[in-house]
Amino acid sequence: MRIVVLGGGFAGMEAIRVLERRLEDRADVDILLISDRNYLLFTPLLPQVASSMVEPRHIVQPVRDIRGSRRFRFRRDTVTDIDFADRRVTMAEGTESYDRLVIAMGSVVPSFGVPGVEEHALGYKWLEDGLLLRDNILDAAEHADHEADPAVRRRMLTVCVVGGGYTGVELIAELQDFFHSYIVPRYRGIEADDYRLLLVEAGEEILRGVHPTLAEKARRNLSREGIEIRTRTRVTRVLPDAIEVAGGEQVPVGMTVWAAGVTGHPVLAHVAAERDRLGRLITRSTMQLKAHPDVYGAGDAVAIEDDAAASIPIIPAALAQARLAAENIVAELEGRPLGTIQFAPQGMLVSLGERDAVVEVLGLRFSGYAAWLFWNALHLLKLVGFRKQLQVALDWGMAQFFPRDSTIMRRVSRCPVCCREPTAPSRHRHAA
């Protein structure tokens, strides 16, 4: 019996953990994990990479370190196709057969067909996205530091985040902290009113799915920090130095970060299975694909038939789905009835930057500094391994006493200033 799990995110690793624990005495069972990345990314802390609050390597854990002495095999490879009829997974460097398959390949951030997103917007999904955004912001600050024209300087330092969900809100809050606590004090040519942060959401409100009281509290807190929030605003085009919204208005920006929604993994668009409008595979309540009972799904890659609450693309739902998928594979092997998904969100946590958050847990709603401490404690606990917990805790502690790191780690390829042809000296100020 060969069980193959596709995807090394939260859902994939949870499925592996349960399968290992339940089948550790089954020498006839071979378990294989396939992922195109050799690490697990702790995505809740990704915004803090962009703000230089945490060291990037501290929020990732190598898969082989997580495995330790466990017996499952790991293969880093890129899945290109899945043949359900032949029970075969095709990858860039070969193929693997399976008897049972768990698809936990996650999701991608869609462009929704908006022109210019791929060319001019920065994504925010992976670790390298956080590093790239951080370097772009620091690069813009370096140029703005000696720019004589206040209007040009403000445009350089205007960051627009498209998408008012959890990711967009937490990211814009972290960027506000970065500008306020580090860039303005350290760059002598940049004043507090030189930067502008803009959050654009097509829906009626930010943080849809969050209790209205807390969502409104979050909006007020962000606005009080000087972050501009535009709801009911649909972006129709992204330009190198602006976004265009419905109605034709062009809003000047220095950089655009695209964090609007999720869709199923592109590979799943070509497999022979039913999908929803977001490209996610549709599963039964047992987490089996409807037409392929030997294939299970979990995480952002799937949607559960007639159960919207259990299909929300959040980490707790992904973990619950992965646990059930693994348990049902074990039940199949043991000849027991399969279980069905029983999941309802128990709460939500949204960080609003340093020393502020909104939290709802088991019906209890609170915000402010206490909520921020709760957010930190819970996410620190959820990090995989004591070493990572200690490293992140030290990062947070060091940030209270020492300045954040402003090192630009790589050449910024999209910098509009660096990419210009050399011109005659102009109106730049002296370096500050």
Q: pLDDT tens across 82-125, in order?
A: 999 999 999 999 999 999 999 999 999 999 999 999 999 999 99
Average pLDDT of span 358-385: 92
pLDDT of residue 340 exceeding 90, the answer is yes
Residue 252 tokens read as: 């000047």
Give the model's pLDDT for residue 363: 84
Fold agreement between 2-36+77-109+262-334 and 117-257: yes
Confidence band for 427, pLDDT divided at 50, 70 and 90: low
Q: What is the pLDDT of residue 432?
A: 62
Mean pLDDT over 65-94 rounds to 96
Give the pLDDT of residue 344: 84
What is the dihedral angle through the alpha carbons of 264, 337, 24, 378, rounded to the nearest 10 degrees? Answer: 50
Class of domain 2-36+77-109+262-334: alpha beta
Say if residue 21's pLDDT is above 80.
yes
Q: How confident is the model at residue 418 (pLDDT cuts 50, 70, 90)?
A: confident
Do 294 and 99 meet the contact criterion of CB atoms below 8 Å apart?
yes
Would you call 228 helix, strand, or coil by DSSP? strand
pLDDT in tens, 181-201: 999 999 999 999 999 999 999
pLDDT of residue 77: 98
> Is the pLDDT score of 421 beyond 60?
no
Query: What's the pLDDT at 335?
Result: 96
- Rounded CA-CA distance 252/160 in Å is 9
The model's pLDDT over 255-297, given as tens digits with 9 standing for 90+, comes to 999 999 889 999 999 899 999 999 999 999 999 999 999 999 9
pLDDT-derived band at 384, boundaries 50, 70, 90: confident
pTM higher than 0.85: yes
413 pLDDT above the threshold of 80? no
Kindly indicate the confidence band of residue 243, based on its pLDDT and cuts at 50, 70 and 90: very high
Round to whole Å and give the CA distance between 214 and 241. Answer: 33
The CATH homologous superfamily to which domain 117-257 belongs is FAD/NAD(P)-binding domain (3.50.50.60)
Higher pLDDT, 203 or 406: 203
The whole-number pLDDT of residue 316 equals: 93
Contact 346, 316 (CB under 8 A): yes
For the CA atoms of 55, 59, 64, 67, the dihedral, rounded to the nearest 10 degrees, stands at: 140
Residue 430 has a pLDDT of 58
- Write out pLDDT tens, residues 23-35: 999 999 999 999 9
Q: Which two tokens stand for residue 45?
A: 């802390």
Domain residue ranges in the chain? 2-36+77-109+262-334, 117-257
Q: How many Cβ atoms sit within 10 Å of the Cβ of residue 193?
A: 10
Q: E strands within 69-224? A: 73-76, 79-83, 88-91, 94-97, 100-103, 107-108, 121-123, 158-162, 196-200
